Amino acid sequence: MTSSAPFGEWTSPIDALIVAQGGMSARGTLSDLAVDGSNVYWITLRPAEDGRYVITRLAPHAEPEDITPPGFNVRTLVHEYGGGSFFVQNDVVFFSNLSDQRVYRQEIGIPPQPISPEPEIPRGHRHADGCVTPDGRFVFIVRERHQSGGDVINEIVRLDARGQGQPEVVASGHDFFASPRVNHDGQQIAWLAWDHPQMPWDGTELWTAAIDADGQLVSSKRLAGGPEESILQPEWSPDARLHFVSDRTGWWNLYRWVSGQPEPLAPMEAEFGSPAWAFGRSHYDFLSDGRIFVAYGQKGLDHLGLIEPGSGQVTHIPSEFTAINPAHVRTDGAQLVWFIASSPSKAQSVIRYDVQAETFQTLAESVKRTFPEGYVSQPEPIEYPTSGGDTAFALYYPPANPEFEGPEGGLPPLIVHSHGGPTSAAPAQFHLETLYWTSRGFGLVDVNYRGSTGYGRTYRDRLKGFWGIVDIDDCLNAARYLASHGRIDPDRKAISGGSAGGYVTLCALTFHDVFEAGASYYGVADAEALVIDTHKFESRYFDSLIGPYPEAQALYRERSPIHFTEKLSAPLIVFQGLEDKIVPPNQSEAIVAALDRQNVPYAYLAFEGEQHGFRKQTTIVRSLEAELSFYGKVFGFTPAGDLPPIEIHNLE
């Protein structure tokens, strides 16, 4: 029996604490999968432990157990976004520790010991994306070296796996490095390199070298890639052939290096890669019979498959999973595969697939609690017209609560969500934050605006030169499309997003008059200040998104909401981590000061100890409840539950 209640006032079992325990971001709480013999390892985020990351180990016929001791936090700050924080060989775990960014060696049952030296500058030597040589003697790993004066040097170094001696630089001379991978006999290594102003999804180079008996690299050479070709994930097959992902055809497809040439293994309009915001992504791995297990995306949905080299095609594996996110596919080298996946109805989970038996088994889940099916909003993929005669893509999640329906003739308020990046995507996955809203009577549309990944390089490149224009247009037109089809209340539309998504929020509310409210999570208010103040990895990102700086200074100012605050009139709530090095707090503080001058209703919540992306349970709970309370005040409804009060300035 359902009851009628205003949209936004529905009670829901999915409260902010449950969202926090499952991880607020689309990344969830599980990442960085590794397989070592019969044991499986992954990273688990613990929001209740101030956002600590721990390594979880699953042995055969046992329950998952955390092996990271108290006092350690397995997280690297290379590129600030991290990833590739640990790797394993013969039950010896190597990991980067957040507090000092040193590499530690941990044998099960023995306290971790550092194998990289203490730098002069705290956290000055950061490490990520490493591997161990088969004989266990050496570690090859990406190092990001921060120097006095602000200079940052990226390189690949060799460490003694037991911490003896000093690190030795083995690859340098480029602005960035990633994916050092040693082959199975320890005699060859491959890696990626690229230079400003390219980002790794624009253009990278694939390099190889021989490894001599002393661990020195000899005969280094570039095999493929360049400014216009994005190469990802080099891996060595058991027969010593180098494989990699390249977008040379306009799609990230899988190749192997044969007779001095790249050979495509399954050419198709699909993505076998994803933007390398974080290290350690893995979209494929090898089975003992020569086949390759793959995860690939088409039109916003992820799929699983097998490639038999020489067949030229992918054999699709039917499954419920629509998001292999984050992409970490690993095999035991035989017929078992592990990956992290979810669907709109299944929380992010560690999955084991038996290739011979064709069976899936869930080993761990990011969300322990289950909810009746009626609370899970199923996304509706939509394609709609946008500016320039183009088509944009999105996933619409309608309100879903088996206990309530809206009043007769009423329509739900809408939240337009714009993902971060902006070179990223909104996956079709179980996302507790989305259900938090839809179970309360909101509609939510997750927009894969032009510039998003998963739709080929042409779609990805449409944002180049037009950041702050076409992404905004696509979010505006998603709201217009849903309103014109009678799906949402045309007078109660909000826009929300984090980082680049926060920039979309600020631009939409400043330069357009479509939304009645907005929420900015650590959003960019001043593109010029960001390009001057941001970290090395993204410091030239904006060359392609807007234009080279300072030559295009006028364009940066034209695209920055902070310079046009007189046009900003819609109520706005702003959230900011005070230790954010990617979008510094001064960005949010500047927009808040402008809102105050303009007498525009606003709320501002800043959080000590939070960086780019909220990880602490208390922060996630507070921000979600504050956003809901804010919409209630602005849209004129009373949310269910006892929400903590928030201070909204300039609201009459």
Q: In CATH, what number is assigned to the domain containing residue 377?
A: 3.40.50.1820
Q: Which residues pair with 31 in a beta bridge?
A: 43
Give the model confidence (pLDDT) of 286-315 as tens digits.
999 999 999 999 988 999 999 999 999 999
CA distance 438 to 441: 5
Question: Which of helix, strand or coil describes residue 31?
Answer: strand
What pLDDT, on a 0 to 100 scale, did the predictor assign at position 27?
53
Q: Tokens for 536?
A: 């090395």
- Statement to judge: residues 389 and 262 lie in one domain: no
CA distance 585 to 644: 24
Query: Total structural domains in the chain?
Result: 3
Q: Tokens for 366?
A: 């990011």
Residue partners of 483: CB distance under 8 A and separation at least 6: 414, 489, 490, 493
Query: Other CB atoms closer than 10 Å to residue 239's CB: what's the count?
Result: 11
**Sign of torsion, CA 193 197 200 202?**
negative
- Statement to judge: residues 266 and 292 lie in one domain: no
- Statement to judge: residues 10 and 69 lie in one domain: no
Establish if 545 belongs to a structural domain: no
CA distance 192 to 544: 21
Residue partners of 172: CB distance under 8 A and separation at least 6: 153, 155, 156
Establish if 289 belongs to a structural domain: yes
Q: Quickly tell me which residue has 């199923």 as its tokens.
A: 378
Instruction: Tell me if 471 sits within 8 A of 449, measured CB to CB.
Output: yes
CA distance 21 to 39: 26
- Statement to judge: residues 200 and 60 lie in one domain: yes
- Statement to judge: residues 99 and 7 lie in one domain: no
Establish if 47 belongs to a structural domain: yes
- Statement to judge: residues 380 and 323 lie in one domain: no
What pLDDT, on a 0 to 100 scale, did the predictor assign at position 26?
45
Predicted TM-score (pTM) of this structure: 0.93
Instruction: Tell me if 319 sits within 8 A of 406, measured CB to CB.
Output: no
- Statement to judge: residues 68 and 37 lie in one domain: yes
CA distance 318 to 363: 19
Give pLDDT < 70 ranges for the chain: 23-28
- Statement to judge: residues 613 and 524 lie in one domain: yes
Question: Which of helix, strand or coil describes residue 638?
Answer: coil
CA distance 177 to 162: 24
Nearest to residue 427, comparing CAs of 299, 238, 522, 304?
Answer: 299
Domain boundary among 365, 396, 424: 365
Establish if 646 belongs to a structural domain: no
CA distance 113 to 106: 6
- Statement to judge: residues 137 and 187 lie in one domain: yes
The domain of 521 spans 3-17+371-465+481-538+559-635
DSSP string, 408-446: TT----EEEEE-SSSS----SS--HHHHHHHTTT-EEEE
Instruction: Tell me if 143 sits within 8 A of 157, measured CB to CB.
Output: yes
Exposure of 212 by Cβ count < 10 A (0-12 exposed, 13-18 middle, 19+ buried)?
exposed
What pLDDT, on a 0 to 100 scale, did the predictor assign at position 28?
67
Beta pairing class for 602-607 and 125-132: unpaired
Establish if 642 belongs to a structural domain: no
Establish if 553 belongs to a structural domain: no
Domain boundary among 229, 256, 282: 282
**How many residues does the structure list for the chain?**
652
Q: Tokens for 391?
A: 């088509």
Question: How far is the CA of 597 from the CAs of 383, 557, 588, in angstroms?
Answer: 40, 20, 14
CA distance 431 to 417: 13
- Statement to judge: residues 298 and 242 lie in one domain: no
Query: Other CB atoms closer than 10 Å to residue 148's CB: what's the count?
Result: 8
Residue type at 464 in one-letter notation: K
State residue 105 phi and psi, 5-degree precision: -110, 130
Establish if 644 belongs to a structural domain: no
Question: Which of helix, strand or coil describes residue 271?
Answer: strand
- Statement to judge: residues 35 and 166 lie in one domain: yes
Give the model confidence (pLDDT) of 92-144 as tens digits.
999 999 999 999 999 988 999 999 999 999 999 999 999 999 999 999 999 99
Establish if 474 belongs to a structural domain: no
CA distance 104 to 524: 35
Domain boundary among 224, 255, 282: 282
CA distance 436 to 103: 38
Query: Other CB atoms closer than 10 Å to residue 81's CB: what's the count?
Result: 18
Give the model confidence (pLDDT) of 505-544 as tens digits.
999 999 999 999 999 999 999 999 889 988 999 999 999 9
CA distance 324 to 454: 12
- Statement to judge: residues 218 and 246 lie in one domain: yes
Q: What percent of the chain has pLDDT over 90?
A: 88
Helices within 522-616 (DSSP H only): 527-533, 541-545, 553-558, 585-598
Chain centre distance of CA 618? 22
Q: In CATH, what number is assigned to the domain containing residue 66?
A: 2.120.10.30
Residue partners of 149: CB distance under 8 A and separation at least 6: none
Query: Other CB atoms closer than 10 Å to residue 531's CB: what's the count?
Result: 23
Nearest to residue 646, comparing CAs of 626, 628, 617?
Answer: 626
